[in-house]
């Protein structure tokens, strides 16, 4: 397992009060809100063209090409996924669970004028047909800062579920 | 031709269906909905089916060397599958002989043996008790040389490893149980394109439904264009065309005996060694073809690997728990009457990294595209299965129909009962075996 503590910058060096970090967190919260609202077209627009969105099976993994993942989307796969989630043919998406997620426990790991990397926790509750499913995971974000906040884009989001190596439900929504 | 049965009601009676013996719930063209929902039937399935027949536990590539192990279940019983120093594969109950603790909780790994965490009884890779602390307390009480983790009979064919609780008197050898299936296992393994097959990774997901819903689904060609319309819309035209078997009369399903069946969706890919060279390689693999050529691979070998990129052209369904499905393995693990865990095991050729790594990268992406809890196919299947379980809660006497194609089922030249790939021949085969195994005699 990746030991988060070993990769953190020294205490006091980076702060969530840094305006660049605040912009990154605002983007992350915006993304979370759009996913809960299932506004997938607006969601897709938050990603850079070279951005990747990954839900690995191996929680230790940092490269994903040579292993099996639950999700490993580049721009092409992401746009097909958005079509799938919105066009009305996918019965899992049509009858998807209602979700509410919280993203918090932010720790910035690198901050420059161009890019902010964050570690965070995400707790999501999905409700469907009388059942609540819990999805918990660590999330790594890399946000590329644009000329203004409206131009900030996600270049990397990796959701490491605590039960990634176990059996999770099949989902009609995105993490 | 099999005789046709009556209308789709009237076979079972609400007043008596709950009193019927399980075997009486299976008719040639239908089964009672109670089979999905009754916990008592589930208990009997565990003891009469999953503990009495060959259950798939591993692919040999998951146990590459002495000390390699994986943990899984046979029915609901937890087991360890391990390769020992002699190269034998052992399947052992994951239960300490002292006071019952599980001795291994890792899904896969490598070990010299298994030491119980509770009082440190230690077992070898073959399950034999090697040592225990403070042995003086057992003097005159127990001879440790006779103590071992309970072993299950373990046999393999074509790299597929199966285990059973049944002894030789109760159950035939694996190869006899497989019978004509062996030919199809041989064909399935040809997708290595000249290399052996290895496991690349495993998706796992659970659904709130009975295991037989999944058993049916792996031989259900009828659902494909409906449930998987979303996936079909997302793939290139060549792949969509390859999967357009609905109206192809050459696409057929065969009953192979003992509950096994094979569904030939792309018959021209059933035997990948048969290639007249006219089929163009898919455009999407052009870069891969070039990369493999640059590694010095001759064009015939490149073609063999790339033509097998989507796997074989069939789903081979082995009763009761594994389907060799086109390019991957679909393994079912029953949890309760209304819960099942499914594994989707991605496969690819095992050879020199400069050749197989680029091939397997493509295969992994193809697998992720359809399979797994966030694939473009699996969640839609799971939604369908969830609906079946919920709907089947209504009217336990109302039949689940498996009559499609009964009127056009004929023996193939090999003697296999055969009908169109969209028909329910494979389900009838599985339920015939289920009925046999659930009968008292
Ligand atoms: S329960 Fe395993 S050593 Fe006691
Ligand atoms: Fe399906």
Alpha carbon distance B127, B147 (integer Å): 9
Q: Which of these three, B153, B170, B187, is where a domain ends?
A: B170
What residue numbers bound the domain in which B429 lies? 175-436
Same domain, yes or no, for B195 and B142?
A: no
Q: Going by C-beta distance under 8 Å and a sequence separation of 6 or more, which residues neighbour residue B291?
A: B358
Residue B50 belongs to a domain = no
Residue A123 belongs to a domain = yes
Residue A136's nearest CA partner among A160, A117, A118 is A160
Same domain, yes or no, for B164 and B182?
A: no
Residue B59 belongs to a domain = yes
Alpha carbon distance B1, B28 (integer Å): 13
Residue B22 belongs to a domain = no
Residues for chain A: how many in total? 175
Instruction: For ligand 1, atom 3, name the residue with the nearest CA.
Output: B119
Residue A53 belongs to a domain = yes
Q: What is the mean pLDDT of chain A?
A: 95
Quote the distance between the C-alpha of residue B85 and its chain's center: 28
Look at residue A6 in the predicted model and tell me its pLDDT: 57
User: Which residues 88-147 in chain B show a CB within 8 A of chain A?
Assistant: 107
Does residue B367 belong to the interface with chain A, where contact is any CB pair within 8 Å?
yes
Task: Inspect the interface and report whether the beta carbons of B230 and A77 lie closer than 8 Å.
Answer: no
Contact between residue B151 and residue B127 where contact means Cβ atoms under 8 Å apart: yes
Does residue B237 belong to the interface with chain A, where contact is any CB pair within 8 Å?
no
Look at residue B161 in the predicted model and tell me its pLDDT: 98
- Based on the structure, what is the number of domains in chain B? 2
Alpha carbon distance B49, B288 (integer Å): 45
CATH code for the domain in which residue B97 is found: 2.102.10.10
Residue B107's nearest CA partner among A166, A111, A156 is A166
- Based on the structure, what is the number of domains in chain A? 1
Residue B10 belongs to a domain = no
Question: Cis ω on the peptide bond leading into residue B306 (within 30° of 0)?
Answer: no
Q: Which of these three, B170, B201, B231, is where a domain ends?
A: B170
3-state secondary structure of B95: coil
Look at residue B396 in the predicted model and tell me its pLDDT: 86
What residue numbers bound the domain in which A149 lies? 16-161
Q: At what angle do helices B299-307 and B353-370 cross, to 10 degrees?
A: 20
Task: Inspect the interface and report whether the beta carbons of B361 and A66 lie closer than 8 Å.
Answer: yes
Residue A69's nearest CA partner among B72, B372, B62 is B372
How many whole angstroms from B167 Cα to the centroid of ligand 1? 27
CATH code for the domain in which residue A60 is found: 3.10.450.50
Same domain, yes or no, for B147 and B222?
A: no
pLDDT digits (tens, 9 = 90+) for B328-385: 999 999 999 999 999 999 999 999 999 999 999 999 999 999 999 999 999 999 999 9
How many whole angstroms from B17 Cα to the centroid of ligand 2? 30
Buried b (16+ CB within 10 A) or exposed e, B11-38: bbeeeebeeeebbebbbbbbbbbbbbbb
pLDDT digits (tens, 9 = 90+) for A8-59: 899 989 999 999 999 999 999 999 999 999 999 999 999 999 999 999 999 9
- Maximum Cα interatomic distance, chain B, rounded to a whole number of Å: 76
Residue A170 belongs to a domain = no
Q: Is the ipTM of this complex over 0.90?
A: yes
Same domain, yes or no, for B294 and B423?
A: yes
Q: Which of these three, B170, B192, B211, is where a domain ends?
A: B170
Does residue A37 belong to the interface with chain B, where contact is any CB pair within 8 Å?
no
How many whole angstroms from B232 Cα to the centroid of ligand 2? 11
Q: Which two tokens stand for residue B410?
A: 């004929």
Mutant choice from B372, B381, B382 vs A, greatest count of A C-beta within 10 A: B372
Same domain, yes or no, for B154 and B219?
A: no
Instruction: For ligand 1, atom 1, name the residue with the nearest CA.
Output: B99
Count the Cβ atoms, other than its own, within 10 Å of residue B307: 18
**pLDDT tens-place values along chain B, 441 residues long:** 344 456 677 789 989 999 999 999 999 999 999 999 999 999 999 999 999 999 999 999 999 999 999 999 999 999 999 999 999 999 999 999 999 999 999 999 999 999 999 999 999 999 999 999 999 999 999 999 989 999 999 999 999 999 999 999 999 999 999 999 999 999 999 999 999 999 999 999 999 999 999 999 999 999 998 999 989 888 888 788 877 888 899 999 999 999 999 999 999 999 999 999 999 999 999 999 999 999 999 999 999 999 999 999 999 999 999 999 999 999 999 999 999 999 999 999 999 999 999 999 999 999 999 999 999 999 999 999 999 999 999 988 899 999 999 999 999 999 999 999 999 999 999 999 999 999 976
Same domain, yes or no, for B189 and B130?
A: no
Residue A131 belongs to a domain = yes
Conformation bin of residue B395: beta by default, left when phi > 0, alpha when psi is -120 to 50:
left
Distance from CA of B202 to the nearest CA of A (A): 7
Residue B363 belongs to a domain = yes
Q: What is the mean pLDDT of residues A74-79?
A: 97
CATH code for the domain in which residue B420 is found: 3.90.380.10
Alpha carbon distance B122, B133 (integer Å): 9
Same domain, yes or no, for B270 and B350?
A: yes
């Amino acid at each position: 397992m990746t030991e988060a503590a070993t990769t953190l910058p020294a205490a006091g060096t980076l702060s969530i009060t840094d305006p660049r970090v605040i912009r990154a967190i605002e983007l992350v919260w915006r993304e979370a809100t759009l996913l809960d609202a299932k506004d997938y077209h607006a969601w897709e627009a938050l990603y850079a063209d070279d951005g990747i969105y990954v839900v690995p099976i191996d929680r230790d993994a940092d490269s994903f090409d040579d292993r099996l993942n639950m999700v490993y989307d580049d721009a092409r796969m992401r746009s097909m996924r958005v079509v799938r989630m919105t066009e009305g043919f996918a019965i899992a998406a049509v009858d998807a669970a209602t979700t509410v997620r919280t993203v918090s426990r932010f720790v910035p790991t690198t901050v420059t004028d161009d890019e902010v990397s964050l570690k965070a926790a995400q707790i999501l509750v999905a409700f469907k047909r009388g059942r609540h499913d819990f999805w918990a995971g660590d999330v790594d974000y890399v946000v590329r800062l644009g000329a203004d906040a409206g131009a900030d884009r996600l270049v990397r989001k990796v959701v490491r579920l605590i039960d990634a190596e176990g059996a999770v439900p099949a989902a009609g929504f995105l993490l | 031709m099999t005789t046709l049965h009556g209308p789709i009601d009237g076979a079972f009676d609400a007043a008596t269906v709950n009193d019927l013996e399980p075997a009486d719930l299976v008719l040639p063209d239908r089964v009672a909905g109670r089979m999905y929902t009754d916990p008592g039937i589930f208990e009997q399935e565990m003891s009469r089916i999953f503990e009495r027949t060959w259950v798939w536990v591993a692919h040999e590539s998951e146990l590459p060397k002495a000390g390699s192990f994986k943990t899984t279940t046979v029915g609901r019983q937890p087991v360890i599958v391990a390769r020992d120093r002699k190269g034998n594969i052992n399947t052992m109950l994951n239960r300490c002989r002292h006071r019952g603790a599980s001795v291994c909780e890792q899904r896969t790994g490598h070990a010299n043996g298994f030491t119980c965490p509770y009082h440190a009884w230690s077992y070898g890779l073959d399950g034999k008790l090697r040592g225990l602390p403070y042995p003086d307390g057992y003097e005159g009480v127990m001879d440790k040389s006779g103590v071992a983790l309970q072993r299950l009979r373990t046999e393999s064919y074509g790299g597929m490893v199966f285990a059973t609780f049944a002894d030789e008197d109760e159950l035939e050898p694996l190869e006899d149980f497989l019978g004509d299936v062996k030919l199809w296992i041989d064909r399935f393994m040809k997708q290595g394109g000249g290399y052996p097959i290895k496991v690349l990774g495993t998706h796992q997901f659970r659904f709130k439904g009975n295991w037989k819903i999944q058993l049916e689904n792996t031989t259900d060609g009828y659902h494909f264009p409906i449930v998987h319309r979303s996936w079909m819309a997302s793939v290139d035209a060549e792949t969509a065309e390859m999967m357009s078997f609905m109206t192809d009369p050459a696409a057929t399903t065969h009953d192979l005996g003992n509950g096994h069946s094979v569904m030939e969706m792309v018959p021209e890919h059933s035997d990948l060694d048969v290639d007249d060279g006219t089929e163009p390689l898919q455009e999407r693999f052009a870069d891969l073809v070039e990369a493999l050529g640059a590694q010095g691979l001759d064009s015939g070998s490149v073609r063999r690997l790339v033509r097998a990129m989507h796997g074989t052209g069939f789903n081979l369904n082995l009763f009761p728990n594994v389907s060799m499905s086109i390019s991957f393995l679909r393994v079912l693990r029953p949890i309760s009457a209304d819960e099942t865990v499914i594994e989707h095991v991605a496969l690819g050729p095992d050879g020199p990294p400069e050749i197989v790594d680029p091939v397997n990268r493509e295969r992994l992406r193809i697998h992720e595209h359809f399979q797994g809890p966030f694939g473009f196919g699996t969640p839609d299947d799971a939604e369908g299965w969830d609906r079946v379980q919920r709907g089947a809660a209504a009217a336990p006497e109302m039949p689940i129909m498996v009559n499609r194609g009964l009127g056009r089922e004929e023996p193939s030249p090999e003697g296999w009962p055969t009908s169109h790939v969209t028909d329910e021949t494979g389900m009838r085969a599985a339920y015939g075996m289920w009925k046999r195994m659930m009968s008292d005699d």
